[in-house]
Structure 1
């Protein structure tokens, strides 16, 4: 699997992680439950049937009012490393934000909705798009990513609060 395809998958994961934070707390402070450090991993499945394991660590910084979130994410596999920064805001059930990944010169936007412990969102970039789904329950997140137009068929991840 190429490094650029893994980068795209990790970028989606990061965007989804940010989106998921909106679903964790009361509407007045949707990001509060995400503050802190998380870690975990998962599997990237490619259209040619190959799989590669991912390991990830995330740090979430939440503003005082709880409606702004800053993510710093590092993901690695056997063949690449990714360092991502992202900013997301929550307003009345809607989430939106942006992400950048300097080493691969990639950037894009995120938009979607949060309800209860579940998030559905879309991540978009110049040469990349994906649908994202995330569920958070008691310090555990499950993430499903379905990219379009890449050799990555799906990404499945699980993160736990550290």
Structure 2
């Protein structure tokens, strides 16, 4: 038998296939298919979380952003500023931090907000000056109009997110009058 096997290999270039190897090939394909299906299913579980972030009230905002713009002070002077923003999105809740600085001016704005069916409510603070207050407004889909209020300070904040670009517009009634900021991811 061994001699016939060697002869067959020499003539055909193939080894004979035994029933056991056919059986293992039969079961190997479904096993590979099952592993591929499990891998696909596991990776698809990650999609709904990112989809929820991109389709919820804070659509496209999650992550780190950077850019610059201008700040207008009470005396009417303008200064160029550099900014960083971080948005931590979890369903209807969002924590954000916006830090901007120029050569002579700096502000650190943080906020914790909740979407209540298109109404945005929360708290904010400007940490470099030790000011805190409430925040309320409307918005969704990455676009918001809100008002930040505390004793002696009111500011209207507009935020618009389109793809990996974001614009922030702040209008206030104090030493800090306005800021126009453009950010990118």
* Structure with a larger share of its residues in helix: 2
Corresponding position of 1:159: 183
RMSD: 2.1
* 1:41 paired residue among 59, 63, 68: 68
CA contact (8 A) 2:58 2:141 kept: no
* Structure with a larger share of its residues in strand: 1
CA contact (8 A) 1:110 1:123 kept: yes
Structure with higher Rg: it is 2
1:70 match: secondary structure: strand
Corresponding position of 1:135: 160
Give the structure-2-normalised TM-score. 0.63
Task: Describe the shift of the 1:116–1:101 C-alpha distance in structure 2 as closer, same or farther (beyond 3 A).
Answer: closer
State the structure with bigger RCO (CA 8 A, min sep 6), 1 or 2. 1
C-alpha distance in structure 2 between counterparts of 1:80 and 1:68, whole Å: 30
1:34 match: secondary structure: coil
Task: Describe the shift of the 1:115–1:68 C-alpha distance in structure 2 as closer, same or farther (beyond 3 A).
Answer: closer
C-alpha distance in structure 1 between counterparts of 2:122 and 2:101, whole Å: 23
